[in-house]
Amino acid sequence: MYKSFGNLLTAMVTPFDSELKVNYTKLRELAHKLVDEGNDGLVVLGTTGEVPTLNYQEKLQILSTVVSEVGDKAEIIAGTGSYSTEESIKLSIEAEEIGVDGIMVVVPYYNKPPQYALYNHFKTVAGSVDLPLMIYNVPSRTSRNIEVDTVRKLAEIDNIIAIKEASGDLNQVNKLSLIKKKDFYIYSGDDTLTMPIMSLGGEGVVSVAGHVAAREIKEMITLYKAGNSVQSRELNKKLIPVYNGVFIDTNPIPVKEALRITGFEAGDPRPPLYRLQEDKRKELTEILKEADLIK
């Protein structure tokens, strides 16, 4: 039986320097910051980490850096999935050799594989490693929803143990909660839906807001799981503007700016993304002030 990855995982941004090269010094600092502030794990090389703009060697060095810095303090989950099954396998094997604790594999995007093809994709990737695998369902980006019946069949594979569910469909989450495998964990892929998904049996969240509000989110989750639903709900209400604020523009543009506003310089996104526009920066600053995340 595989254990949970924890309750609060943050999908980590990739810091860049002024020349938009990976800033490995800041990467190390950010990994420590996120773990010190309460994250149980880090998802590295996800969409928030601007993985489509990273070359292969950058991906390997980023994974190696994070594992060497905080691999003994937190679960490190590598985003190894892509459009290509072959490439997903290759990076998954490399990630296992580097020493990550698990892999996250996104639903292949763009050409909309049918459900039986999705099943074969995830089964094949899972079979290439001994690591636990988290399915990442984000149809708003991939243009394909992985259906509950497909997930249910995939959950029969020993090392497929979790799903990051970002469909926004709570009825789908409700059906996923009926999967009988004991070590199958549902994670919200949307900060705003963490509490509703936990109410349906979810384990926690793969967060973006965790970059700037990890302590508060962790407290909210801990209170909820301890049965203090009223206190948890009140804290969650305070955080809702922050959840929405870090998506005030295309991810990860706002969260990189939120880090800058709160005192951590992670650089600008790589093109085709750009730094947050000034009007939205002012709005985001006010949101962070109202949530008592800055003075």
- Cβ neighbors of 225 (< 8 A, separation 6 or more) are 7, 198
- For residue 219, the one-letter residue type is E
* 164 among known catalytic residues: yes
Max Cα–Cα distance, the chain, nearest Å: 52
Quick count: other Cβ atoms within 10 Å of Cβ 174? Answer: 15
Judged by phi (left if over 0) then psi (alpha if -120 to 50, else beta), residue 232 lies in alpha
Separation of alpha carbons 65 and 61, rounded Å = 6
Catalytic position from the list 26, 164, 218, 256: 164
How far are the Cα atoms of 24, 34, 140, 259 from residue 268, in angstroms, in the given order? 15, 19, 24, 11
> Under DSSP, is residue 188 helix (H, G, I), strand (E, B) or coil?
strand
Bridge partners for 263 per DSSP: none
Dihedral of CA atoms 251, 253, 258, 261 in degrees, nearest 10, equals 180
Catalytic position from the list 26, 59, 119, 136: 136
Strands (E), the chain: 8-11, 41-44, 75-79, 102-106, 133-137, 160-165, 185-188, 204-207
Query: Pairing relation of β-strands 133-137 and 204-207?
Result: unpaired
**Which residues are known catalytic residues?**
136, 164
